[in-house]
Amino acid sequence: MATDDLNARRSFAQSNPLSHERIVALFLARTGRTPKAVEPLTSIAAEYHAVYKVLLPLAAKASSSSSTESFYLRVSRPCIPSIKTENEVACIAWVRRHAPSVPVPEVLFWASDTTELGYEYIVMNEIPGVSLDKCWKDMSVEGLDAIAEQVAGYCVDLMAACSSPAAGCFDGSVAGLKFGKGQNDIIAGPFVNEKCWEEPVIRAHLPAHESFDTVNAVGPFSSYSAYLATEISIPCRLLSSYLPGKYTALAERANRLVQTVLPTHAETIDKVPTQLSHRDMHFGNIMVQDGRVTGFVDWEFAAISASTVGNVPLFWPCAFDEQADAAQARCLGIYKRIVAERLPEMLGWLEEEPKGVAQRVRRVGSLLKYVAMCSIDRSESEEKINGWAAAAETELAALGV
């Protein structure tokens, strides 16, 4: 993604899109309480939402030494219609119900349409502490190790919950979550990917007959191989339709992968366990206080996905330097140790599958998506796009195509 495109995404978080009066009216209508204070958090470097901290008077029946309680109003940038908001709320609800040891926010109320505010939004309680990216450099090695052990433990708790007969939705599918007949009915829904075509880009660069659903692998998918096939087929169609000639040979080779190689390996690929996973667990989304993990935030791209892809926490410290690289590597090592101790049957997937056919096929799909998106919307240099195309060719050759 080009730097100017990233800055444009983050500008929404800094734009303060809602007036004080509108937020007060929303909370009064939804809770019967008038906010004591509303603070726009414009310094947050978020790509998908603007955030407001809202201080409400304590509910009548609540017992607390404080007279107020804090909530966060997260207002969605208009880019992914309805499914991202509902997916986040449903994933949080599923975790709270089936993996209650895992600390996540509590959603007070939400809307996946724009009727009330002109934007989709979620209101959730404040999790105590600060995000790990703000304080890890001040920790001792032992202190950060203790945090990593807690994160790994919670991830294993989530893995175990997904394997429970009560979990539902985890029959090898690749999907997001949504609500069925009511808030207690959580079912497989559209798969939400942060590297998707967004609606403003689709409207600006593609014909009117194209939509979010036609250019993204939305699903839900009955298997991992079905998801991979769609992730490759869509950019191949886009390249052939809108960039005829330039990448025709690449698209044809990738289509042969879907038609010949993928079916041959489908049975093996579909043995990879699928789990509900956060899929963006970097230090900025891990809240800590007094040496303890207090919560995991930003579940908007959580999904049921292959364990080897999504369930490994990133442990990225939100920094680019040798100290950050060393911290990330150390945390990942601790994660693998905890998995080996508590769920040894998963360790083989974590260590071996990244070298296997499924991951090569997945890389082909990702590279083709970058080539198609950035060629059509012109958001990256031709040199970088050609580099992705060459990398895709290399992966195809390794797969025998």
Residue 4 pLDDT more than 50?
A: no
Coil vs helix vs strand at 178:
strand
Coil vs helix vs strand at 123:
strand
Share above pLDDT 90 across residues of the chain, in percent, rounded to a whole number: 70
For 40, 41, 343, 369, 395, the CA distances from 302, given in Å and listed in that order, are: 25, 24, 21, 20, 27
Instruction: Name which CATH class applies to 3-129.
Output: alpha beta
Q: Summarize pLDDT for 219-228 with one digit per residue, the tens.
A: 899 999 999 9
- Residue 278's pLDDT is 92
Average pLDDT over every residue of 87-106: 96
Pairing mode of beta strands 292-296, 286-289: antiparallel
The pTM assigned to this predicted structure is 0.92
Residue 166 pLDDT more than 60?
A: yes
Residue 269 pLDDT more than 90?
A: no
Q: Which of 155-164, 280-289, 375-384 has the lowest average pLDDT?
A: 155-164
Single-letter amino acid code for the residue at 216 = N
- Residue 246's pLDDT is 87
Residue 3 pLDDT more than 60?
A: no
Q: Summarize pLDDT for 20-76 with one digit per residue, the tens.
A: 999 999 999 999 999 999 999 988 778 899 999 999 998 766 555 566 799 999 999
- Residue 271's pLDDT is 81
Q: Which of 83-92, 200-209, 240-249 has the lowest average pLDDT?
A: 240-249
Q: Which of 36-50, 76-90, 185-199, 310-324 has the lowest average pLDDT?
A: 310-324
Share above pLDDT 70 across residues of the chain, in percent, rounded to a whole number: 91
For 1, 231, 268, 281, the CA distances from 196, given in Å and listed in that order, are: 12, 10, 27, 19
Residue 383 pLDDT more than 80?
A: yes
- Residue 58's pLDDT is 87
Average pLDDT value over all residues in the chain: 89
Residue 79 pLDDT more than 70?
A: yes
Q: How confident is the model at residue 274 (pLDDT cuts 50, 70, 90)?
A: confident
Q: Summarize pLDDT for 124-142 with one digit per residue, the tens.
A: 999 999 999 999 999 999 9
Which residue ranges make up each domain of the chain? Answer: 3-129
Residue 344 pLDDT more than 90?
A: no
Residue 276 pLDDT more than 60?
A: yes
Block residue for tokens 């990133």? 314
**Comparison of pLDDT for 98 and 350, the residue scoring more:** 98
**Comparison of pLDDT for 165 and 62, the residue scoring more:** 165
Residue 352 pLDDT more than 70?
A: no
Q: How many CB atoms lie within 10 A of CB 43?
A: 8
Q: Summarize pLDDT for 187-202 with one digit per residue, the tens.
A: 999 998 888 999 999 9
Largest Cα span, the chain = 69
Contacts of 169 (CB under 8 A, 6+ apart): 175, 177, 186, 187, 188, 276, 304
- Residue 390's pLDDT is 96
Structural contact between residues 183 and 86, judged by C-beta atoms closer than 8 angstroms: no
Average pLDDT over every residue of 321-334: 94
Residue 94: in which H helix or E strand, if any? helix 83-98
Q: Which of 69-73, 270-274, 317-321 has the lowest average pLDDT?
A: 270-274
- Residue 293's pLDDT is 98
Contacts of 244 (CB under 8 A, 6+ apart): none
Residue 217 pLDDT more than 80?
A: yes
**Comparison of pLDDT for 10 and 180, the residue scoring more:** 180
- For 175, which DSSP code? B
Coil vs helix vs strand at 362:
helix
Q: How confident is the model at residue 157 (pLDDT cuts 50, 70, 90)?
A: very high
Residue 6 pLDDT more than 80?
A: no
**Comparison of pLDDT for 122 and 352, the residue scoring more:** 122
- For 19, which DSSP code? -
